[in-house]
Amino acid sequence: SQQGEEDPQALSIQEGENATMNCSYKTSINNLQWYRQNSGRGLVHLILIRSNEREKHSGRLRVTLDTSKKSSSLLITASRAADTASYFCATDAGTSGSRLTFGEGTQLTVNP
Amino acid sequence: EPEVTQTPSHQVTQMGQEVILRCVPISNHLYFYWYRQILGQKVEFLVSFYNNEISEKSEIFDDQFSVERPDGSNFTLKIRSTKLEDSAMYFCASITTPVAHEAFFGQGTRLTVV
């Protein structure tokens, strides 16, 4: 089954604006994580939210999780050109060392 | 800051040839993974490795793939007879303990099969 579908697929904003990306999933999860990928590079972990949490903040990042709707959102406030990247949500089932299942990703472009 | 390193960064190989992709995970990490990302697509899980054996593998990880940790530091992915559709970015990742879930990824190896 598909897991972690993001929308929008692409988002273009101006520097200083907020960017909101959404992720939906279909199966039960233990954690949901957001990763960032600069073009052609590796994945960088941004933030993890556990299934019993509803909201989490880290710097300019705010993540929400609604397990009843099986969805999460990532908000980047006061965006910068350097935030331009692809953003992926990833879920895991919670068993020891379980795999991450990634979504399709949102390509964010922040225009200076 | 410790990081996962992968070599080579780019590998071009002829169809049917064997390739070995190498990774050096972070030294105190216990779980190791290989993921791949076909151009323009999402990241897909291939295999996880713990305590010197495969702990989980996906349907993609068929008999042409193998992994090993030969010397306690390197973690390798071997593709025995490459196909055109194996062209992708291959990422190695590791986590500290079985209950930690933040994965540290390498920069990837871009494999091009011609």
Over range A73-92, report the average pLDDT. Answer: 95
Q: Report the alpha-carbon angle A55-A98-A104, nearest 5.
A: 65
Question: What pLDDT does residue A106 have?
Answer: 93
* Phi, psi torsion values for B77, nearest 5 degrees: -120, 125
Tell me if A35 sits within 8 A of A90, measured CB to CB: yes
- Where does the pLDDT of residue A59 fall: very low under 50, low under 70, confident under 90, or very high at 90 and above? very high
Tens of pLDDT, residues B29-83:
989 999 999 998 889 999 999 989 999 999 999 999 999 998 878 999 999 999 9
User: Cβ A42–B105 below 8 Å, yes or no?
Assistant: yes
Angle at A34 between CA A69 and CA B107, to 5 degrees: 150
CA gap A51, B39 in Å, rounded:
31
Mutate to test the interface with A, among B1, B7, B33, B42 (most CBs of A within 10 A): B42
Please give the residue that has the higher pLDDT: either B78 or A96: B78
- A96–B91: do the CB atoms touch at under 8 Å? no
Q: Which pLDDT band, with edges at 50, 70 and 90, does B97 fall under?
A: confident
Non-local (6+) Cβ contacts of B40 within 8 A are none
Question: Can you tell me the distance from the alpha carbon of B98 to that of B38, in angstroms, rounded to the nearest whole number?
Answer: 28
pLDDT digits (tens, 9 = 90+) for B63-73: 999 999 988 78
Model pLDDT for residues A10-22, shown as the tens digit of each residue: 999 999 999 999 9
